[in-house]
Structure 1
Amino acid sequence: MTAPVTTLREMRWWDIDSVLELERDLFPEDAWSRGMFWSELAHARGPGATRRYVVAEDGERLVGYAGLASSGDLADVQTIAVARDHWGTGLGARLLTELLRAATAFECTEVMLECRVDNVRAQKLYERFGFEPIGFRRGYYQPGNVDALVMRLTDPQNSAQGTEING
């Protein structure tokens, strides 16, 4: 029997409990609340949607999620998370690719994000996709008072092409 394939699909409200469990494990000091996810998902459906949120499943288990917000020609990566036992599998890159495809669909010409200055693993992922550091936000992550590195990508369409979503 072969191992289940990690698949991506749209995040729905019934995923929030599993997302929160992973969120609290990965980001214990600055985890998002249930209300924050509900609010984001409210803007992810229907005409005029300005958000794209996806989850990654390995069989029945949620092992990752990611979200993007758009406004005009600017998009912002809100969150990307991958379960520790899936680090190094390429799942983070697949999630980011999906967000960049969404940015292109929203007709965004730039994508911004904030990343903890101590999260070198994530910074390297973003750099592989063409994100460049443009500044810092001092004390951005609370309550730990950790600085954020601000990064920008100016061509999301070219960074999102050619990557498989499922498989």
Structure 2
Amino acid sequence: MCTQEGSSANLSGTGVALRPLSPDDIPEMLEIERLGHSHPWTEGIFSDCFKPGYLLSGAWFGERLVGYAVVAYMFDEAHLLNICVHPDTRGLGVGRQLLCHVTETARSEDMSEVLLEVRLSNKVASKLYQKEGFEEIGRRPGYYPSASGREDARVMSLLLYP
């Protein structure tokens, strides 16, 4: 689970800091998205997320965006819609830091849970989510596009106030 140490805005020893994103950051987000996803979001999708009810957080190494998370708030649920880390900075804890930021922010906003979908084939992400306390609560058949058609999603939930 996210610890107090892991919740700081700076990743110890990496120089990475978290801060809110703005529409001006979309070009950098698109580049990371293209490098990280086989079927990336479009500029329009990102643009649509800069409105009330969404939280967009970036992980920055100096002035360089190295990762981001997009969350939609609905009623008492935070839905992690997209999280992506630049391939050059994977394995440094950036994804975990973003995930902890998402869960802690949702908790501070009195959300009851954080929901997400993850490709069944994405073992690295699934392992991270499980390590941080997320549990599989279902599957969405054919949820993601893939090279061979469609891929199922694992639906995962973290109860913030069990």
For Structure 1 versus Structure 2, the TM-score category normalised by the shorter chain is 0.7 to 0.9
Aligned-partner Cα distance in 2 for 1:35–1:102: 25
The corresponding residue for 1:121 is 124
Residue in 2 aligned with 1:91? 94
Superposition pairs for residues 1-167 of structure 1, below 5 Å?
5-28=15-38, 30-43=39-52, 50-144=53-147, 145-155=150-160
Answer whether contact 2:35 2:87 (CA < 8 A) is retained: no
Please tell me whether the aligned partners of residues 67 and 78 of structure 1 are also in contact (alpha carbons under 8 angstroms). Answer: yes
Following TM superposition, the consecutive aligned residue runs of length 4 or more in structure 1 with deviations greater than 6 angstroms are none
Superposed CA offset, 1:96-122 (max 9, x none): 111112211321111110001111110
**CA-based RMSD:** 1.7
Offset at residue 72 of structure 1 (A): 1.1
Q: Distance in 2 between matches of 1:116 and 1:143?
A: 10
Q: Which has the higher strand share?
A: 2
2: distance between equivalents of 1:55 and 1:73?
A: 23
Q: Which moved more, 1:137-146 or 1:126-135?
A: 137-146
Q: Aligned partners of 1:112 and 1:65: how far apart in 2? A: 17
CA contact (8 A) 1:115 1:122 kept: yes
Partner-residue secondary structure (3-state), 1:133: strand
**Structure 2: 5+ residue runs without aligned partners?**
1-12
SS in 2 for 1:118: coil
- What is the rounded CA distance, in whole Å, between the counterparts of 2:34 and 2:88 in structure 1? 15
Q: Which runs of 5+ in 1 are unaligned?
A: 44-49, 159-167
TM-score by length of 2: 0.85
Matching residue's letter, 1:22:
I
Q: Name the residue aligned to 1:47.
A: none
Write the letter of the residue equivalent to 1:123: S
Using the alignment, how far apart are the partners of 1:79 and 1:116 within structure 2? Answer: 12
Rounded to whole Å, the distance in 2 between the matches of 1:4 and 1:93 is 13
TM-score normalized by the length of structure 1: 0.83
